[in-house]
Chains A and B, each alone.
Chain A
Amino acid sequence: MGIGSHITRRRMLRMAGGLGVSAAGVAALAACGEAEPQIITKEVPVETTVIKEVPVETIVTRTEVKEVPVERIVTQEKIVTQQVEVPVERVVTEIVEREKVVEKVVTKEVEVMVEAPMQKAPVRLEFSTDWGSGVRAATHKFMAEQYNKVNPHVTVDILIISGSGGSTAVGYSGILTNLLVAGSGPELMSELWWNADLYNLDLEPHMQREGLTKDDFWWHDGYLVDKDGVTRGVPYGVYVGAMMANLSLVERFGVTIPDKDYSFDELRDLGAQMRDPETNVWGFERQTYSWNQGFAERFASEGAKWYDTATETSTASIATQPGGNSVEAFADWWKLAWEDGVSPNTDEVQATLESPANTSGSNNLFATGLIGMSGFGYNSGGGIKNRIGGRFDFHVFWPYQSPYSGLRGYHNETNNIVVNRAAEERGNAEEAAGLAFFWHGDIMAPYLAEFQPVVPAVKNIWNSEFITKFASGTDNFPDLAAEAEQVGQFRENWVRGTHSHPNWLEWFRLSRAKLTDRALVGGESPYQMMEELDAEGTEALRREI
C-alpha cells in the first residue's frame, strides 16, 4: 500500500489547521508572561582522549620486556546538560557545559627502551704462544673464553707457534719475527722481547687505566722495561723453582721430608736412603738443564754471575757471596750422579725410563714414580702433575742450602707478555692491553695458581688458597718468591733481556756445551768444563760480530 493512499488532501488540511491553532495558542500564552519551566537534565558523557607520547628511548642495542611508563592518557569528559523542550507554555533551553579532565598514567609492556652503553665494534685479538698441549694449551683456551665473557665484543684467537722446543727455540722467535716485520704479527705475544721499542706497545698508560702498580707484581725490568725506561711488557709468570717429593716413596722408606733449612749434605744423605737398586728407585733427580734446580741455581747460591757485561768476561766461576764457591757447588751437583750414586746418570736415566717399573709412559723422570725427590720450576709444575696423573701424591718443599754460602739458590724469570704496537693502528690496543693484564686478574690468577702452567706474577697469589690446591706443602713457604727475588738470578740479565750482552747466545750455547753436554750428561770433569767455559766464554763475548 502506497503512502499517497493514506494521506488525503482533507487529512492534510486538518493537520495544517491544527498546527496553525496550536501555534496561535502558544503565541498567545507567550504573550501572557513567563511560566515556571520544567527542566529535565540529562548528562551526556562525551569523552575525548588525548594521548601524548612521551619519548624515553635513545639508543636501543638490546631489547627486553619491561614495564615502563610510556603513555600519559588524558581523558577529557564533556558533560552537556540539555534542556528538553516540553510542550508547556514556556520553554527555555539552556545548555550547561562542564568539562572533566581525567589524567592517568598507564603502563604497558613495550620493547625496551633501555638506555644501553654505546655499542662497541667487534674486536678480534690474536695471542701467540708456544704452549701447544696439555695444561698449557688448556690455559690459553680458558683465558680466551673468559675474556670473551667479560668483554663480549672481543674474540681471542690463540696462535700456537712451534708446539715443542720452547719459546726460546729458533722456530718460535723466527716465525714471530717474520710476522712482525711483515706487519701481520699477533696483537699479543708471549715470551718475545725483540726490538721492543719498534714493535711493542708502551703499557704504562694502560697500567694506569687498569689501576695496577709494579709493586703488585713479582717484577723484573729485564724483559719488561726497555733501555729507554718505557714499560713494554707484562710479566708472564714466576719461574722460580722448588723441590718436590714423592710421598709414596717417602712413606715406603720412612724418611722425613726436610723443613725449611737443610743443607746439601742432608739432601744427599736423604737421597741415599731412598735409593733402592732392586726396584730401580733413585733418591734424587739431578736436572741436566740450566734451571729448575740446575746449574743456574748453583751459580745463584754462590753469587756468581754468568758473565760480566762491563768487562765482557765469563764469570761463572767467580763467587761473590761470602764463603761462596760456584765451582765446588757445581762439582757437588755433578757428583750426585757421577760419584755419589744418588741420582741416575745419563744411561741410568734411560734405563729408568725404560724400566718395567715405570708404568707412567712418560718421559718425565719424576713422573715415573721411581724418583724420591726432584727440583721443579713453577712454570712446569702443572705439566709434571698432569704426567703423574694422580698415580702418587707429591709434596712441595724448600730447596737446600749451599754448604759454602749457606744460601738457597734460585733461577728467576718473569718472561713477558707483550702487546704489538700495530694494535694501536688496528684500533684494538685497549682490548689487547686489557687481555695482557687479564692474565693476572681475579679470573686467571687463581686458575694459574691452582693448575700451574705457570704461576702468575701477582704477589698476593703466594698467600692465597689457590696455590695450595696444587699440592701439599705449598702453604709452607709463601715467602719463597720473596726470597728468590733476593737471592736468585734473573735470566733476563743474561739471556735475551735488555741487559744481556749482544753475544749472549754464543755464551749460552757454550755453557750448555760445557756444563750440560759434557759435564752433567757426558760425565767429564766439572772443573775442566768450568775452566773451558771461562776461557771460551770470554772469547765469545769479546767477538765483534
Chain B
Amino acid sequence: METRHLPTDFEQWWTAFRHQFKFYLHTSRFLALLLLVLIATGAVIGVTIWRGGGIGSGVAYVSGFLGLFGLFGILIGAFMGGDALAIDFGGGTGYFTLVLPVRRSVLLLGRYVAAFVASAVLIGVFYGGVVLGSLYHYHTPSTIVPGVPLVESLLLALLYACGILSVAFFFSSFFRSPSVSIVATVLILIFGLNVADAIVGSLGYTPYYSINYAENVLVSVLGAPRSPLSTSPTISVETGALIFLAYFVIFLAASLVFYHFKESKG
C-alpha cells in the first residue's frame, strides 16, 4: 500500500492555480470579457477601415487605440480578482476549501497567478487587436509598427494588471459578498479615484497615489506627440512602473493579511 504525503506548498500552489484557472475558463465571465475585448478592438479596427484615411501616424493610431485600455484593465481586474477570495466567505465554497490542509497564503497566491494569467490572455487579445489594426493600415510585416515601442507598453500593461488585481484581491479579502466586492472594486477604481484625482489636480498637485494616473504611462511610453487639447498627463516610465509596483505589493500584502485572519462566521 502506498503511503500518503502532504504536498509541499509549491505543489499545493500549482493545484490552486490549476483549479482557479479552470474555474475562469468554465465560467461565462471569461468568455464575456473576451467577447467584450473582441468587440471593442473589432469596432476600432472597423471604424478606422471605414473612415479610410486620415488616421495619422502609426504611433498616433496605436496611442488612440490604447486610450481605451484603462477601462478594460479595470473591468478585467475586477471580474478576475473581485470575487477570488470573497467566494470563500459569501457562500459555501469556503467550507469546502478552507478546511483542507493548505495554507491560505498558498491558496491566495495560486488564485492570484491564475487571475493574472487569465487577465494576461485578455490583455494579449487587446494588444493583438492593436497589432492587427496596425498591420492592416501600415502594411508592416513586423508585429510592431516601426518606431512604436508596443512591447514596452504591453509589459507595462501587464504590470498595471498586477496592480489592479491586487486592489481587487484586497477588496475581495475585505468583503464577504463576491458581488459587492466586484462592484466596490469597479466603483472605487473608476469613480472614486478619478474624482480624487480631479480634486487633487485642481489644487495643482500630481496624484502620484493613483493607479489611474499611472495608467497614462501605457500611452506616454509610445512617445506620441501630444495634442494641444489632450488632458491626459505625460508620465515617465519609471514613475508609472513604480506606482504599479507599489499597488501590486501593498494591496497584495494587505489581502494576504486579511485573508489569513478572516473568520468563517456565516
Chain A complexes with chain B? no
Please list the residues of chain A having a beta carbon within 8 angstroms of any beta carbon in chain B: none
Please list the residues of chain B having a beta carbon within 8 angstroms of any beta carbon in chain A: none
